[in-house]
Amino acid sequence: MKKKMTFKEFLFIVPLLVIIAIFSIWPILTSFSYTFFDYQLNNAQKSKLSFSGSFSADNFKENSEYIKIFLNDDAAVAAKDEAAAKDFAAALSDTEAYTKQFSTLQSGKISARQSNDFTAATTGLQAEVEALYQNHPNAEYANTESLPKIFEEINKAIAPSNFIGLQGYQKIFSDSRLFAALGHTVYFTLISVSIEFILGLGLALVMNRAIRGIGIIRANALIPWAIPTAVSALIWSYLYDGSNGIISHIFAEMGLVSEPGAMLLTGPGAMSAAILTDVWKTTPYMALLLLAGLQVIDKGLYESSAIDGANRIQTFFKITLPLLKPSILVAVLFRMLDAFRVYDLIAVLTGGGPGGSTETLSVYAYKTMFSQTNFGYGAVVVMFMFVCVLMIAALFVKVLGANILSSD
C-alpha cells in the first residue's frame, strides 16, 4: 500500500510546480490562445488580440472631410455637364449622409453590428465614387487618383476583431507547405535516428568493454555531442561547400553525388547532408544512453552463457538485446522527439532550402511567426507539432511498452 503525500510534504514540491507552471505550462497556454486569432504584427488592424472591433473617430473625421473637399473640387469642373453635375451632387449628398451617420461614434471598441455597418457603408460609397469618375471621365479632374487613397485610409479607421475561432486549424488541411514540411521532418527523423541507433549501439558495445585506454575512447567519442549544434552545422557547411569542401569533393570522387556543389544545392543532397551532420553530432548521445543500459546488465549472465557454450552472436541476441530493450526504447524515444523538433541544424546548414526541400515543421513555424510575423497561424503550426510529439510519445509509452514513468 502506497503512502499518501501529506500537506507538509506537498509544500516541498510547490516551488517546482510553480517553476513548471511559469516556464512550461504558461507558454503552452499562451501559444494555444494565439491559435484562435488572426494575429499579425505587420498588419496594424491585426496586431492585437481582440474579441471586438475598435474605431478611430479622428481618422474617420479627417478623411471623410477630404472626400467632401475633393468631390466639391471636381464637381466645379463637371458643372458644365448636366448629367455629371447631377451625379456629383448625388455623391456629395450621400457623402454628407455617410459622415452624419458615423460622426456620433466615439474612439474605442465598437460592436460587431457597428463594424459591419461601417464597412458596408464605406464600401458602398467608394463604389459610387468610382462609378462616378468612370461614367463621367474628364482630364481636368484633380482628384481622380487621390480619392481611392483616401478611401484606403478611411478603411483603416476601423480595426475589426481578429478572433477567428477554429479557422486557423481548418487552414491546416489545405496547407500543402505544412504537409511537405511534415514529410521532410518524418523522413529526417526516421533515417537519422535509425542510423544513429545502429552506430550508437556498436559504439556503446565498444565502450562497454574493459580494455586499455577505454576512458580516452569514451571521452573522444563524446566530443561531437559536446559541440553546440549550430557550431556543428556551420563546420559541416564548410565541409559540404561545392568550391572548397573536402567532404563534397570526396563524395563526388566516390560517385555518390554528380558534382561537389550538389551536396547543398540540390534537394536530395541537402537532406542527405543534414542527416549525415545529425548522425555525426548525435550518435555519441545515443551511445551514452545505451552504454548506461549495458552497465547494469549482470556480468554473471555472460559467464553462465559462456559455460553453456553460447557464442557471441547467441549471447548478444539472447541476453544483451532483451535486457537492453528498456534502454533502447527510452534512447530511441528521446532521440525521435529531439529529431522531430530539429531547428538549429537545418536553419544554419540549409535554411530549409533549396526550394524548401529541407524545410521541417520547426523551420516552417519559425518563418511563419518571425519572418512573416503571422503569430496566429504560426501558433497553429506549433500546436500541430505538439500533437505530433504527443502521438510519438504515446506510441512508445503505450504501444511499444516503454513505460519510462514506472517506478519499478
pLDDT digits (tens, 9 = 90+) for 260-271: 888 888 899 999
Residue-level pLDDT at 400 = 64
Length of the chain: 408
The rounded distance, in Å, linking the Cα atoms of 43 and 376 is: 12
The CATH H-level superfamily of 175-399 is MetI-like (1.10.3720.10)
Residue-level pLDDT at 260 = 84
Which residue reads 516556464 in cell numbers?
23
Backbone φ and ψ of 312, nearest 5°:
-65, -35
Dihedral of alpha carbons 63, 67, 68, 72, sign: positive
Residue-level pLDDT at 1 = 53
Q: What is the pLDDT along the chain (408 residues), one digit of tens a residue?
A: 566 777 777 788 888 888 888 888 888 888 899 999 988 888 777 878 877 778 888 999 999 999 999 999 988 888 888 888 899 999 999 999 999 999 888 888 887 788 888 889 999 999 999 999 999 888 888 888 899 999 998 988 887 778 888 999 999 999 999 999 999 999 999 999 999 999 999 999 888 876 777 778 777 888 888 899 999 999 999 999 878 889 988 988 888 888 888 888 889 999 999 999 999 999 999 999 999 888 888 888 888 888 878 888 888 888 888 888 888 888 999 899 999 999 999 999 999 989 899 999 999 999 999 989 999 999 999 999 999 999 988 888 776 654 444 444
**Closest to 266 measured CA to CA, from 251, 254, 278:** 251
Helices (H) and strands (E) in the chain, counts: 20, 3
The rounded distance, in Å, linking the Cα atoms of 103 and 153 is: 16
Residue pair 204/294 in contact by the 8 Å Cβ criterion = yes
The rounded distance, in Å, linking the Cα atoms of 39 and 34 is: 7
Which residue reads 468610382 in cell numbers?
130
The rounded distance, in Å, linking the Cα atoms of 316 and 294 is: 11
CA 386 to chain centre: 10
Q: Where are the domains of the chain?
A: 1-26, 54-159, 175-399
The rounded distance, in Å, linking the Cα atoms of 308 and 300 is: 12
The rounded distance, in Å, linking the Cα atoms of 70 and 78 is: 13
Residue-level pLDDT at 15 = 85
Dihedral of alpha carbons 33, 36, 42, 45, sign: negative
Radius of gyration of the chain (CA): 33
